[in-house]
């Protein structure tokens, strides 16, 4: 059994990981009885942590909003990961987060052991940020949406589409996807009765949480690939389906999610779904993957590839 102080820290850590816990679940994780859990909750409250309780058979505990943040216990690898993430956030696509990230990084580095601090500083000294050009998103809106994804809460917000049209949406959020340039929300649109992908920078802050919902099956197993296909379909003039004569594992490192998605056909071939506004660039990209291929569509790309093949054949004869 853990000592009381260690058990309180573990209880705080558990309450941070998800929204609601039953008393029996906490007792099992802490390897104590329900009465000990109740006493530990009271100790946390006396220390200033707002632990909320719900009575009854279906009751439980949750960590409410309060003035103090619970302590975090990080090992060396976790501390390095957090520090690197904060350095990255300075040049990220979240509006107004740069100064906050610098303040948090300074606090973290102040308490790091000297060996870990040297590792973090080495990463910072050797890294040159590449400035992003995507639209910035509101950090509060991002936090609200992320919390709603975690807690299965509907969200209401005003949304501006690509043509400037504004509308009110009520959605059941599933996942946030970050492409490196933009943030996207995959959610079930309640009024349109269909899955939709929303650009977070087009959501007018602040979005407001609504009542909870029962999660439904997602639109795809690979949500990042699902978003990539949807973005390409709305952004690119030409949509291509290409059979690559190589296994998925072989070509996957050469096809980043932002460029296209891959679906296995069999052990020796796969299907590439990609798009572009310029046929020539699309043909060059497919050829640069470096494996034999067959274009299924669009017809314009099939014709271009045939013309190029004939030209190369005449040049080599």
Q: What is the DSSP string of the chain?
A: ---HHHHHHHHHHHHHHSS-B-HHHHHHHHTS-HHHHHHHHHHHHHTT--EEEE-STT-EEEE---SSPPP----HHHHHHHHHHHHHHTTSSBTTHHHHHHHHHHHHHHHS-HHHHHHHHHHHHH--PPPP-SPPB-HHHHHHHHHHHHHTEEEEEEEE-TTS-EEEEEEEEEEEEE-SS-EEEEEEETTTTEEEEEEGGGEEEEEEEEEE-PPPPPS-S-HHHHHHHHHHHHH-SEEEEEEESS-HHHHGGGS-TTTEEEEEEETTEEEEEEEES-HHHHHHHHHHT-S-EEEEE-HHHHHHHHHHHHHHHHHH-
Q: What is the mean pLDDT of the chain?
A: 83
The pTM of the whole model exceeds 0.85: no
pLDDT digits (tens, 9 = 90+) for 226-282: 888 787 767 778 889 999 999 999 999 998 877 888 889 999 999 998 888 888 888
pLDDT, greater one: 235 or 170: 170
pLDDT digits (tens, 9 = 90+) for 176-195: 988 777 889 999 999 999 99
Per-residue pLDDT band for 314 (boundaries 50, 70, 90) equals confident
Using the predicted structure, report yes or no on whether residue 316 has a pLDDT greater than 80: no
pLDDT digits (tens, 9 = 90+) for 35-88: 999 999 999 888 888 888 887 655 688 887 654 555 566 777 777 788 777 777
């Amino acid at each position: 059994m853990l000592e009381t102080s260690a058990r309180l820290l573990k209880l705080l850590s558990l309450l941070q990981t998800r929204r609601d816990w039953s008393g029996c679940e906490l007792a099992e994780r802490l390897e104590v009885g329900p009465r000990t859990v109740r006493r530990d909750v009271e100790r946390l409250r006396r220390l200033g942590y707002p632990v909320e309780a719900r009575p009854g058979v279906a009751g439980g505990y949750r960590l409410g909003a309060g003035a103090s943040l619970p302590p975090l216990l990080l090992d060396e690898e976790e501390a390095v990961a957090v520090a690197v993430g904060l350095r990255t956030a300075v040049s990220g696509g979240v509006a107004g987060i740069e100064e906050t990230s610098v303040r948090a990084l300074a606090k973290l580095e102040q308490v790091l052991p000297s060996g870990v601090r040297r590792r973090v500083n080495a990463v910072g000294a050797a890294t040159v940020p590449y400035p992003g050009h995507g639209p910035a998103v509101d950090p509060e809106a991002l936090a609200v949406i992320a919390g709603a994804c975690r807690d299965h809460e509907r969200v209401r917000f005003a949304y501006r589409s690509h043509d400037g049209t504004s509308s009110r949406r009520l959605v059941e959020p599933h996942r946030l996807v970050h492409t490196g340039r933009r943030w996207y929300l995959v959610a079930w649109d309640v009024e349109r009765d269909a899955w939709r992908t929303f650009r977070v920078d087009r959501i007018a802050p602040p979005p407001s949480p609504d009542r909870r919902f029962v999660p439904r099956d997602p639109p795809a197993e690979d949500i990042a690939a699902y978003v990539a296909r949807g973005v390409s379909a709305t952004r690119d003039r030409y949509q291509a389906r290409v059979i690559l004569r190589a296994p998925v594992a072989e070509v996957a490192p050469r096809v980043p999610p932002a460029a296209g998605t891959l679906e296995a056909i069999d052990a020796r071939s796969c299907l590439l779904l990609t798009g572009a506004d310029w046929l020539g660039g699309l043909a060059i990209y497919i050829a640069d993957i470096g494996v034999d291929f067959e274009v299924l569509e669009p017809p314009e790309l099939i014709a271009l590839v045939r013309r190029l093949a004939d030209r190369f054949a005449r040049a080599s004869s």
